[in-house]
Structure 1
Amino acid sequence: MSTDHISSHSRQSVLTLFFPMVIIAVLAMTLRPTLTSTGPLLQEIRLSTGISLQVASLLVVLPMLCMGVFPLLLPWIGKRLSESVWITGGLFAIALAGLWRLELASGWTLIASTLLGGIGIAVVQAMAPGVVKRWYPQRVPLAMGIYSASLMAGGGSAAMLSPLVAQHYGSWQAGLGIWLILPVIALLLWWLRPSEEMTTKHSNGKINFFSNRRAWLLASYFGLANAGYACMIAWLPSYARGLGWSAQDSGELIGIMTIFQVIGALAAPALSASRLDRRPWLFFAVGIQVLGFVGLMLMPDSMLILWVSMIGCGLGACFSLTLTVALDHLSAPSLASALTAFVQGIGFIITAIVPYLAGFLREWTGSFQAVWIMLLITLVGMLLVTIKFAPASYAKAINLPNV
């Protein structure tokens, strides 16, 4: 065998292994800037548009609802178009929402752009775990860790940089709209993906998880795991500004949280990869959030960065581990994709409700303390549920008559 042939084969192996991972990472990075870019600029947005706190909560609630509704519709509408068409359309919607945000004139047009972006996010996010499972069937924890970390890195970057962009251009609209760049890059990479990757239509139309208790348990767990994240990106900047932080500093606080989210999202799946039982790391992920929220309630001024870092680490680990546990339940990529679609669907509907309740509690009590207490209660419930995720129970728990 010639040296040139070996070199060509090596290059092809590297391309096959790493280029799909780059695509997954960039796809994931498009999924949060629509949500996280608004929080640090919320004061400027409210002064400019006059929207209330509860209306402002729609900037997070609407995308979360979209993330919940679309995966539930996927068994019916997913088979009508190919995976490639759905992901391409979703990325276009996110990019168009960003373009629209550059020229916003009112609060309600901002809400409408958020809805458009939320639909695109929901489409791409529903497809992504199935892509991960199919492209990396032997490396699911690692691939899900990179997917989760990239998702959070995209969100954190938007929170940190949006105030700087807004300040530079003298417009909060620019701080929001700049993020159309990411879906444009993702579109280019998606179109350049290896030609052998699946472009067929979804075949999950006959799979129904609505009658399965384990699917509901996983979905509820996932929803509550993301509720803390939704509340933090929606209200942490406002909370920090109430303590005297500037718009830029409050955005950087989200950035700090994101750094630890990325650490948690990468480290927890990697550390748990050697064994199928993910529960010890789930206990850690939930427990460190409990400590963080307790600290946020008792000593917010002196150690805010520490508490936010702990919460971020727990949120990142919890997100990637929960999706990994869902994928662990079924070995076939198509079935695992259908289960994660259900988990994300019901889960994000639950997630969407919580920041809206948080906004109501904040306006009703005049303080964020009630919000942190609500999240603590959900975390204690998650600790109790974690016990049930023993690998020996997977096959029996997820056994469906029609699978």
Structure 2
Amino acid sequence: MQADKAAFREFAHWALLVVLGLNLRPILSSVSPLLMDIRADTGMSFQSSAWLTSLPVICMGLVALLGVRVQARVGERYGVALGLTLILGACLWRFYGAHAPSLLATALLGGAGVALIQVLVPVLIKRQFPHRIALALGVYSASLMAGGGLAALVSPRVALHFNHWQSGLGIWLIPALVALVMWWRLPLGASVLPEAAGAAGAGTRPWYTRRAWLLALYFGLVNCGYMSMVAWLPAYFVQMGWSAARSGSLLAFMTVFQVIAALVMPALAHRSIDRRPLLAISLCAQALGYVGLVMWPLDSPHLWVALIGFGLGACFALSLILILDHCRQPREAGQLASFVQGAGFLVNALSPWLTGWLRELTGSFVSAWWVLVVAVVSMLVVTAVFSPASNARSVFAPPGG
């Protein structure tokens, strides 16, 4: 009986990890396939509508930078619950948000919720799955990306069924509600008391070290293509004559390969302490995919999108593992993940906005895809820095150091 209870509890922990991940990207990816309808009803330009993707990411970055303080005030259990409640509230508001200001407000609200959860999950994983960190990060990353792809696939169909694009955005309150109920009944390795979180955060200052800043820049640039793809990939193909549903399905197809990479690459990473070969493969896949979108977009669109998806999925999961490689304790993971994700997401936030600006300026998305190629190739060079020996050194400086 005790063995059965333990097995059920372990299964429930894994299921909760998946459900949490599924809720972290629909707030972004549900917008893109419906962007033309949204722009037609609200009068938003390409550049202004880019804020629907950029604002949540900016909010993710700012809240993540304050993540340890939030954790210290409300605790991990209440922090994740608050994040899910904010996502639920943003989706509910989107049912009625027919104007640009209300949509932008929901982007901020949902982005804050996502940020709270993203900051706390690495801490929870390091505590709940201490001997299976790579696998747990892979499952979390895969579910996060699956949520984004599912939203891109389902949202335009829901909107078409109800003839109401707000329904396609608001439907994602359902999984948020499910996750909130599950979390409250069985919090994943969470510290309940705020004081425990506050004590855990004392005395560590990763933002004073060059390695922490390098990790933040690296995390931001190797993952920034995802934000541009989520914001603009469907619009790119809609402009070439594809329907909203078909272009959204292309984003969902990309997600399939993100999920595969997020599961496979961490499993391979578990066999070696050197992350550089797998990161190099992942960055090369991204670069080839972006070049294909520029040169032969209609010849083999699924091939290019598959390469991009594989590269992005692998880079996200491997970059999280890279962060934890620099940490010895869960409290260090919380500090470093907060800083790296916070600063990294602020870098990410520039990507959809820059893509929209270049689209307005040049009348084409091609220049934006070339910018992504340059960013990825630059990070391919930087990857050489992350040797196992250098990763093993602590990035934490003493107070005042």
Compute the TM-score of the two structures, normalised by the length of structure 2.
0.96
Change (3 A) 1:399 1:127: closer
Greater mean deviation of Cα atoms: 275-284 or 163-172: 275-284
What is the CA–CA distance in structure 1 between the aligned matches of 2:203 and 2:178, rounded to whole Å?
35
SS at 1:286 equivalent? helix
Once the two structures are superposed, residues 1-47 of structure 1 have per-residue CA deviations (whole angstroms, 9 ceiling, x without a partner) of xxxxxxx1321231232211111111111100010000000000000
Q: Which amino acid aligns with 1:302?
A: D
> Residue 389 of structure 2 corresponds to which residue in structure 1?
392
Partner SS for 1:81: helix
**Residue matched to 2:107:** 114
Aligned to 1:287: 284
Partner of 1:374: 371
Q: Aligned-pair distance for 1:397?
A: 5.6
How far did 1:336 drift? 1.2
Asked if the contact 1:75/1:206 (under 8 Å) is kept, the reply is no
How many Å separate the matches in 2 of 1:358 and 1:206? Answer: 40
Tell me, yes or no, if the aligned pair for 2:66 and 2:338 is still in contact at 8 Å. Answer: no
Q: Summarize the alignment of residues 49-128 of structure 1 with structure 2, pairs less than 5 Å apart.
A: 49-128=42-121
Other-structure match for 1:4: none
Aligned equivalent of 1:236? 233
Structure 2 counterpart of 1:214: 211
Alignment partner of 1:25 out of 18, 29, 44: 18
CA displacement at 1:178 relative to structure 2:
0.3
Distance 1:400 1:378, change over 3 A: same
Show the counterpart of 2:5.
12
- Residue identity matched to 2:40: L
Q: 1:197 deviation in Å?
A: 4.4
For residue 167 of structure 1, the aligned residue among 160, 163, 181 is 160
Residues 372 and 196 of structure 1: CA distance in aligned 2, closer, same or farther (over 3 Å)? closer
Please give the per-residue CA displacement for 1:116-165, whole angstroms capped at 9, x wherever unaligned. 11111111111111111110011011000000000000010000000100
Deviation string 1:243-267 (CA, Å, 9 cap, x unpaired) is: 1110000110010000000001111
Tell whether 2:312 aligns with 1:319: no
Q: Cα–Cα, structure 1 residues 205 and 364, in superposed 2: closer, same or farther, change >3 Å?
A: farther
Matches of 1:283 and 1:159 in 2, distance apart?
28
Q: Is the 8 A contact 1:213 1:397 kept in 2?
A: no
Unaligned runs of 5+ in 2: none
* Aligned mates of 1:219, 1:196 — CA distance in 2: 26
Greater Cα offset, 393-402 or 128-137: 393-402
Moved more, 195-204 or 386-395: 195-204
Moved more, 69-78 or 249-258: 69-78
Q: 2:141 aligned with 1:144, yes or no?
A: no
Q: Does 1:185 align with 2:178?
A: yes
Give CA deviations for 1:277-304 in whole Å, capped at 9, x if unaligned. Answer: 1111101110111111111111111111
How far apart are residue 198 of structure 1 and its match? 2.4
Corresponding position of 1:362: 359
Question: In the aligned structure 2, how far is the partner of 1:399 from the partner of 1:54?
Answer: 39
Which residue identity does 2:297 align to in structure 1?
P
Query: Which residue type is aligned with residue 83 of structure 1?
Result: E
User: Could you say what secondary structure the match of 2:192 adopts?
Assistant: coil
Residue type at the aligned position of 2:85: F
CA distance in 2, matches of 1:195, 1:293: 37
- Residue 300 of structure 1 corresponds to 297
SS at the partner of 2:172? helix
Provide the rounded CA distance (Å) in 2 between the counterparts of 1:289 and 1:227: 11
How far has the Cα of 1:194 moved from its partner? 6.0
> Which shifted more, 81-90 or 32-41?
81-90
- Displacement of 1:200 in angstroms is 2.8
Contact (CA 8 Å) 2:41, 2:98: kept in 1 or not? no
- 1:194–1:292 Cα change, 3 Å: closer
Amino acid across the alignment from 1:254: L
Counterpart of 1:5? none
| 1:261 equivalent in structure 2 | 258
What is the deviation of 1:366? 0.8
C-alpha separation in 1, matches of 2:191 and 2:182: 15
Q: What one-letter code is carried by the residue in structure 2 that aligns with 1:154?
A: G
Q: What residue number does 1:337 align with?
A: 334
Does structure 1 residue 44 correspond to structure 2 residue 14? no
1:380 partner letter: V
The answer to whether the Cα contact below 8 Å between 1:104 and 1:110 also exists between their aligned partners in 2 is yes
Pairing 1:245–2:242 present: yes
- Structure 1 length normalisation: TM-score? 0.96
> What is the DSSP-based 3-state SS (H/G/I as helix, E as strand, rest coil) of the residue aligned with 1:210?
helix
Letter in 2 for 1:354: S
- Residue 82 of structure 1 aligns to a residue whose secondary structure is helix
Unaligned segments of structure 1, at least 5 residues: 1-7
AA partner of residue 397 (structure 2): L
Q: 1:195 to 1:100 in 2, by over 3 A?
A: closer
The answer to whether residue 270 in structure 2 is matched with residue 273 in structure 1 is yes
Q: How many residues align?
A: 396
Check the 8 A contact 2:128/2:189 in 1, yes or no. no
C-alpha RMSD of the superposition: 1.4
Matched residues in 1 for 2:160 and 2:202: separation?
Answer: 48
1:300 alignment partner, SS class = coil
The list of structure 1 runs, each at least 4 consecutive aligned residues, that deviate by more than 6 angstroms after superposition, is none
- Compute the displacement of 1:395 (Å): 3.3
